[in-house]
Amino acid sequence: MTHLRTNANKEIEIKQIYNLLKKRLWIIILFSALTTTGGYMYHQSIQPEPIYDSTSRIMISESSGYMNTLRVFITEPPVMQAVIDELGLSMSPQALSTRIHVDNISDSQIVMITAQAGSPEMAASIANTTAEQYQEVVASTLGFTDVEQLSAAVANPNQLPINPMSNNLIYAAAVFGIFTAIGLIFLLDSIDNRVRYRREVEKLLQVPVIGDVSKMTRRTMQKTTKEHRKADALRGETVGESTKG
């Protein structure tokens, strides 16, 4: 018996919570809309500049320990300065070297020169120019001429940036708004001292409630009045028919 009563109480509490949230659903919608809009605007303000990459491949025909020196030399200031002068870039050789990555393919003589820039076209241009200027600078500086470009970098207009921005901030702002609104609804309900439910009356008066009166509004009163008038009219017609009979 106690178990059944507990389940009934839980169902009543869940129903009350549902009705409370439904009654003040506009608060949830308002808060979630405000926080989502704020999250979107902040997301747009901190969105970084898109970065694209492109790769050019060269082959360095060197099998001795000199290979590592030749590979590292690609991002050295003489080569970077030659690329800057060729493309008319407004940056230092050190800044340009941070945008270029050099890797070997499985410890082979093939070297990949990957450049990063704000557009696919600029990334491809930097990668190809680096490969070209490297051949000239390494020949004039180190006297090494066995460098051959295997494939040039190609700009893809449909290429996606390598640093896509996540939308998690917007989703988090929307969830934050919903939970904040729910918390505010419960807070407003807790400071409301009005007695609205039968259980509150029974707890307050320590007596069982025999019955309750439904809430009367102008619409329900007008509807009740029309029903009464209709019933009176029907009764009048019935009495009139009985008298005639």
User: When comparing pLDDT for 214 and 103, which is higher?
Assistant: 103
CA angle 44, 49, 55 (to 5 degrees): 145
What is the dihedral angle through the alpha carbons of 200, 201, 205, 210, rounded to the nearest 10 degrees?
-140
pLDDT digits (tens, 9 = 90+) for 45-61: 887 788 999 999 999 88
**What percentage of the chain reaches a pLDDT higher than 90?**
39
Residue 2 has pLDDT above 50, yes or no: no
| CATH 3.30.70.1130 at 52-151, yes or no | yes
Chain mean pLDDT for the chain:
81
Cα gap 131→56, rounded to integer Å: 7
The least confident of 53-67, 115-129, 203-217 is 203-217
Residues 51, 161 contacting (CB under 8 angstroms): yes
Residue 133 has pLDDT above 60, yes or no: yes
Ranges of each domain in the chain: 21-47+167-195, 52-151
The answer for residues whose C-beta is within 8 angstroms of residue 15's C-beta and 6 or more apart is none
pLDDT digits (tens, 9 = 90+) for 93-125: 999 999 999 998 877 889 999 999 999 999 999
- Most confident range, picked from 120-134, 147-161, 206-220: 120-134
